[in-house]
């Protein structure tokens, strides 16, 4: 279902980890800053967002909505077909996953939300040992 993934943070805007054979390793600090900014989010629907040099349309933005913390995008105007992208907040980091061609945004969002749950659980178990 997923063909690419990255973990990013906002303070400072930084790429922490990524799938080496994907494109998300090319995420820039500026792209991360725009993606994760809390102010002026409504203009992202009009302007779109660039991720690793690829223009994306913002479909749904619940990134800072408590209990959801996800954002859905879709790559646009590409000859190879568009791809769904989901961003999910996990504590102070964000997981970015890109679906394979043909993967719908809904199932990808669920998968990313699930993955975030496993990561959150692992963080809490790890912290419990200290």
Show the DSSP H helices in the chain as ranges: 29-36, 43-47, 105-128
Give phi and psi for 113, each to the nearest 5. Answer: -65, -40
Give phi and psi for 59, each to the nearest 5. Answer: -95, -50
Show the DSSP H helices in 50-104 as ranges: none
Residue 2 CB partners (closer than 8 Å, separation 6+): 97, 98, 99, 100, 103, 108, 111
Cα(33)–Cα(26) distance, rounded to whole angstroms?
14
| Tens of pLDDT, residue by residue, the chain (130 residues) | 999 999 999 989 999 999 999 999 999 999 999 999 999 999 999 999 999 999 999 999 999 999 899 999 999 866 668 999 999 999 899 999 999 998 999 999 999 999 999 998 988 888 887 7
Q: Which residue has the tokens 């989901």?
A: 86
């Amino acid at each position: 279902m997923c063909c690419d993934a990255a973990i990013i943070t906002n303070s400072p805007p930084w790429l922490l980890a990524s799938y080496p054979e994907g494109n998300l390793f090319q995420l820039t600090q500026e792209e991360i800053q725009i993606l994760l900014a809390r102010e002026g989010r409504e203009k992202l629907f009009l302007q779109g967002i660039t991720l690793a040099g690829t223009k994306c349309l913002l479909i749904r933005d619940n990134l800072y909505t408590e209990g959801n913390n996800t954002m859905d995008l879709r790559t646009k105007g590409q000859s190879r077909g568009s791809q769904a992208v989901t961003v999910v907040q996990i504590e102070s980091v964000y997981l970015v996953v890109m679906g394979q061609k043909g993967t719908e945004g809904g199932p990808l969002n669920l998968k990313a939300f699930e993955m975030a749950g496993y990561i959150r659980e692992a963080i809490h178990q790890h912290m419990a040992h200290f």
